[in-house]
């Protein structure tokens, strides 16, 4: 069982839709992350939140908009996505930034039609 | 930017054989982490190494950090079908940002 919960597990959306991915952790971790993973590739970092503030944006297109409403929740708002954005989106958390193990959720498998 | 090379990309072994994956960097690393991702699953943290020459064991898994802190290995003794998956090394980018740079991964297949 994973301690980082992501919803939904699967999402199919059209290029004009707006949807959101959600992530929740109750381990008291103060750093949260969004990753994108394509098939047979390693996870690629998208965003880092530290103490609910955005600390890293890896030059992600603005059609992806992260939000951290509180220390337990992390959202990723999606709008006008492209077919190449189809991937597994993973949320992770760690006690803090720095040299810490990261705990991953099961991910949301996103397909853009 | 910082990069870490991981080899081999794929490894097929007969159940009971040993398996090793290697990660190499051209720069000195502060630490290295190892993750396992089962097919259809998510990365799961296995271990973190921080000291030069460090060796850690978890049952049949042995993790090693090189003396120069530029390379690391994961060795599995007597593989089992439950070892199937992709093993990633990951290094921390400089600056204590939490950013991890993953190796390309080694996908292990075990034939029963």
**Across the interface, do A40 and B107 touch by the CB < 8 Å criterion?**
yes
Beta bridge partners of A10: A109
> Which residues from A are below 8 Å from B when comparing CB atoms?
2, 31, 33, 40-43, 45, 48, 50, 55-56, 90, 92, 94, 96-107
A43 to B107: CB separation less than 8 angstroms, yes or no: no
In which residue are the tokens 């991702």 written? B37
Q: Which two tokens stand for residue B10?
A: 């794929």
Asked whether the beta carbons of A85 and A110 are under 8 A apart, the reply is: yes
Averaged pLDDT, B72-84: 98
Q: Give the residue-averaged pLDDT of B11-26.
A: 97
B24-71 tens-digit pLDDT: 999 999 999 999 999 999 999 999 999 999 999 999 999 999 999 999
Residue A98 confidence (pLDDT): 82
Chain A residues with beta carbon closer than 8 angstroms to that of B102? 42-43
Could B44 and A98 be called an inter-chain contact, meaning their C-beta atoms sit closer than 8 Å?
A: no
Contacts of A1 in chain B (CB under 8 A): none
Contacts of residue B50 in chain A, CB cutoff 8 Å? 99
**Binning pLDDT at 50, 70 and 90, where does residue A94 land?**
very high
What is the bridge-based pairing of β-strands B32-37 and B85-92? antiparallel
Residues contacting A26, CB < 8 A, separation 6+: A3, A72
SS3 A110: strand
Euclidean distance between CA atoms B79 and B33, whole angstroms? 21
Three-point CA angle A96, A97, A102, nearest 5°? 80
Distance CA(B53)–CA(B74), nearest Å, equals 13
**Does residue B109 have a pLDDT over 80?**
yes
| pLDDT at B1 exceeding the cut of 70 | no
Output B2 or B21, whichever has higher pLDDT: B21
Tokens of A94: 């760690």
Contact between chains at A101 and B45 (C-beta distance less than 8 A): yes
Average pLDDT, chain B: 96
- Largest separation between any pair of C-alpha atoms in chain B: 45
Reported as a single tens digit per residue, the pLDDT across A6-28 is 999 999 999 989 999 999 999 99
Span A67-72, average pLDDT: 95
Query: What residues of A are in contact with residue B88 (Cβ under 8 Å)?
Result: 42-43
* Residue-by-residue DSSP string for B70-107: SEEEEEESS--GGG-EEEEEEEEPTTS---EEE---EE
């Amino acid at each position: 069982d994973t301690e980082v919960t992501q919803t939904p597990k699967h999402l199919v959306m059209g290029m004009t839709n707006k949807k959101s991915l959600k992530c929740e952790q109750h381990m008291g971790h103060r750093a949260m992350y969004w990753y994108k993973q394509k098939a047979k590739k390693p996870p690629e970092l998208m965003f880092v939140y530290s103490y609910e503030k955005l600390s890293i944006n890896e030059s992600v297109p603005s059609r992806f908009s992260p939000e951290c409403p509180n220390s337990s929740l992390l959202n990723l708002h999606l709008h006008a996505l492209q077919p190449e954005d189809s991937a597994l989106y993973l949320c992770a958390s760690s006690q803090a930034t720095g040299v810490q193990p990261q705990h991953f959720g099961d991910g949301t498998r996103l397909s853009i039609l | 930017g910082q990069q870490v090379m991981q080899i081999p990309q794929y490894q097929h072994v007969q159940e009971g054989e040993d398996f090793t994956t290697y990660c190499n960097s051209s720069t000195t690393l502060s630490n290295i982490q190892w993750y396992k991702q089962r097919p259809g699953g998510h990365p799961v943290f296995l271990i973190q190494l921080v000291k030069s020459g460090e060796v850690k064991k978890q049952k049949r898994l042995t993790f090693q950090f090189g003396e120069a802190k530029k390379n690391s290995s994961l060795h599995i003794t007597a593989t089992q079908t439950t070892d199937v998956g992709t093993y990633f090394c990951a290094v921390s980018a400089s600056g204590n940002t939490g950013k991890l740079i993953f190796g390309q991964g080694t996908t292990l297949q075990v034939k029963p």
